[in-house]
Amino acid sequence: MTTPTSLVQEFTRLYGPGDNQVRTFFAPGRVNLIGELIDYNGGLVMPAAIALGITAVCRARSDRIVRLCSLDDPVAVEIDLNRPIEPDRARGWGNYPAGVVHELLLRGFDLVGADVLFTTMLPQGAGLSSSAAMEVLTAFSFLALADAPLSDLKGMALLCQKVENQFVGVNCGIMDQFAVALCRQDHALLLNCDSQDFTHIPVALGAYALVIMNTSRQRRLAESKYNERRAECDAVLQLLGTDAPHNGLVHAQWSDVLSHVADPVLQRRARHVITEHKRVKEASQMLATGDLAAFGKLLDESHTSLRDDYEVTGPYLDAIVSAAQQAPGCLGARMTGAGFAGCAIALVKQADMPAFTASVRSAYLTATGLEPSFYETRAVDGVHETTGEA
Ligand code: GLA
């Protein structure tokens, strides 16, 4: 892993010495504990920020040029703040920061040119929100360099979601950008995606730990069936007609779905949305009372619903979740994120962790031929400046 000191050294090697202060910012990735694929249906979701994330080393320039490099990708990006900024395929990863800079300028922020070096510990396409982390990190860093106020983290999250929807072209909901911007250490973010109200709820796992299990199979959101599922949910709302809830499909009555929607596939989609929302409400109470066994059971039920009703799990996530559910010390497991591949999470007794990972690894390897990886994680703070931290 690159230490902050060696990262700053690398920055100076790359961009040379300069008069302005070199500042460092960090944005975490996220896992969603429960409430999957219902953010765009007005539901409650419960993400937590994780210690894996993206770091940006930045230095303001005296002109209006932005130079962006990454330790993890050979594509380097240059943007002139005085010229129009359009999406550009050749810019690759650089479209996320470029889109954010473009949107900040549109909103009238008086940005300054900057040299920036990014480095990431977030595996790409693993469903841990590397794109939201890059977007929110860029917004926060450029506002900080411009001496603009940083307190409106919710506004920043919404701006970044707009960039992802309109500049990058992925029709995501609000969960990831809110999580990256607003999560707090040792807490999950209980976010109402209809009202955009949120509370921080303590995650006290005692003798248990949350483990991220990476299937080592990449997921590409833009190519996944993400937009298709959104369209299916819209189709259910259309069929519900005057019985459609105004604040999202999560609030629909199952009896209304049965009486208005004949297609069994659409019925199943709606059933996932309605039952998952109920599970989030129950899960927040179970976390509050420390009933981890019941919380774990909800994780299992969520995965079953995503597999059978929403059909977004796929063979890799099913294999790793099923391996986890049968492994020592596991209270529950489910896929996390948009689905099809990427990562799952499990709630595991700390004392059993070595036996757990050995058992999951062996079963998953046998089932898929792929080597999984594991990260034991804790809930950390959202985006922030780390300049001067050791
Ligand atoms: C992706 C999207 C989010 C959310 C999750 C699934 O991460 O970006 O808005 O829909 O999938 O819960």
Closest ligand 1 atom to residue 129 Cα is: 7
Distant-in-sequence, close-in-space partners of 264: CB < 8 Å, separation ≥ 6: none
H helices present in 261-390, as ranges: 264-289, 292-308, 314-325, 353-368
Beta bridge partners of 69: 117
Residue 390, pLDDT score: 61
Q: Does the CB atom of residue 337 touch ligand 1 within 6 A? A: yes
Tokens of 27: 């944005």
- Phi then psi for residue 137, to 5 deg, are -60, -45
CA proximity to 55, closest of 127, 130, 162? 130
Q: Which of 47-61, 115-129, 189-203 has the lowest mean pLDDT?
A: 115-129
Orientation angle between helical segments 175-182 and 130-145, nearest 10 degrees: 50
Q: How far apart are CA 357 and CA 351, in angstroms?
A: 12
Q: Which residues of 109-140 are buried (b: 16+ CB within 10 A; e: fewer)?
A: bebbbbbbbbbbbbbeebbbbbbbbbbbbbbb
Q: Output the CA torsion sign for 255, 259, 264, 269.
A: negative
Q: Does the CB atom of residue 339 touch ligand 1 within 6 A? A: no
Residue 389, pLDDT score: 76
Place of tokens 């929403």: 310
Share the mean pLDDT of the chain: 95
Looking at the predicted structure, is the pLDDT value of residue 70 above 90? yes
Whether the CB-CB separation of 338 and 40 falls below 8 Å is answered with no
Q: Which of 160-169, 222-231, 356-365 has the lowest mean pLDDT?
A: 222-231
Q: Report the separation in Å between the CA atom of 259 and the middle of ligand 1, taken as the mean of its atom positions.
A: 29
Ligand 1, atom 1, residue with closest C-alpha = 338
Looking at the predicted structure, is the pLDDT value of residue 221 above 70? no
Q: Which of 37-46, 175-184, 218-227 has the lowest mean pLDDT?
A: 218-227
Confidence band of 224 (pLDDT split at 50, 70, 90): low
Orientation angle between helical segments 175-182 and 153-162, nearest 10 degrees: 150
Residue 222, pLDDT score: 44
Tokens of 282: 């129950």
Whether the CB-CB separation of 113 and 46 falls below 8 Å is answered with no
Tens-digit pLDDT profile for residues 109-139: 999 999 999 999 998 888 999 999 999 999 9
Looking at the predicted structure, is the pLDDT value of residue 67 above 70? yes
Tokens of 260: 């208005």
Q: Does the CB atom of residue 31 touch ligand 1 within 6 A? A: no
**176 is known as an active-site residue:** yes
Mean pLDDT of 195-215: 96
Residue 118, pLDDT score: 98
Whether the CB-CB separation of 354 and 209 falls below 8 Å is answered with no
Tokens of 19: 């008069």
Looking at the predicted structure, is the pLDDT value of residue 1 above 70? no
Closest ligand 1 atom to residue 37 Cα is: 12
Q: Does the CB atom of residue 322 touch ligand 1 within 6 A? A: no
Ligand 1, atom 11, residue with closest C-alpha = 338
CA proximity to 25, closest of 185, 134, 102? 134
Q: How far apart are CA 135 and CA 158, in angstroms?
A: 11
Looking at the predicted structure, is the pLDDT value of residue 347 above 50? yes
Tokens of 194: 């209809």
Confidence band of 230 (pLDDT split at 50, 70, 90): very high
* Rounded percentage of the chain residues whose pLDDT exceeds 90: 92
Tens-digit pLDDT profile for residues 300-342: 999 999 999 999 999 999 999 999 999 999 999 999 999 999 9
Q: Report the separation in Å between the CA atom of 12 and the middle of ligand 1, taken as the mean of its atom positions.
A: 37
